[in-house]
Structures are given as C-alpha cells and as structure tokens.
Amino acid sequence: MSGSKKLIDIIDEMNLKEDATNNMVVNKLQKLSRLIFDVVGWEKTSDPDLEFVNTIMEDIIESPHKRITKLEIEKCNRLFKQYKELK
C-alpha cells in the first residue's frame, strides 16, 4: 500500500483546506463589514446590512464547520457593490 494515504491524513488535509477557506471567507466578510461601517458611520451600528454580515462572520468563527450559503454570498456581493458605489 505504498503511496496510499491513511484516512487520518486525508481528514487532516480536508480540515486544513476547510480552515483556509473559512479564513478567506472571514477576511472578505471583515472587509465588507468595514466598508459598510465606513459608509453608515457610528450612528447606525445597528444597520441591518452590517448586522447581516457580522452574523455570518460570527457563525463561521464560532462553528468552523458552518458554510456560507450561495444566497448569502450573492447578497454579500450585492452589498459590496452597493456600498462601494456609496463610498
């Protein structure tokens, strides 16, 4: 069985990829959160768009196996375009 990987090695590789993906997603969500905050300012820290992004980010950080959904990604992309134009 030379060249074949043990199951534990495969699982470890999957976890590393998952961690890298989560880090990338969280970094992008942080960027979006800062952009929204820059536009809405201190007086609207309870902005629904900001809360939406921060909730997703917190969920991923607290539960590493949680995945961002396609609908959430699409909404985040729309929000990024919207707030980028406003800045």
Query: Model confidence over 26-41: pLDDT tens digits?
Result: 999 999 999 999 999 8
The answer to whether the CB of 52 falls within 8 A of the CB of 86 is no
Which candidate, 31, 27, 48, places its Cα nearest to that of 87? 31
For residue 17, the model assigns a pLDDT of 82
Residue 56 pLDDT > 70, yes or no?
Answer: yes
Pick the more confident residue, 10 or 78. 78
Is pLDDT above 70 for 1? no
Mean pLDDT of all residues in the chain?
Answer: 88
How many other CB atoms sit within 10 Å of the CB of residue 29?
21
Residue ranges per structural domain of the chain: 7-86
pLDDT value, residue 3: 58
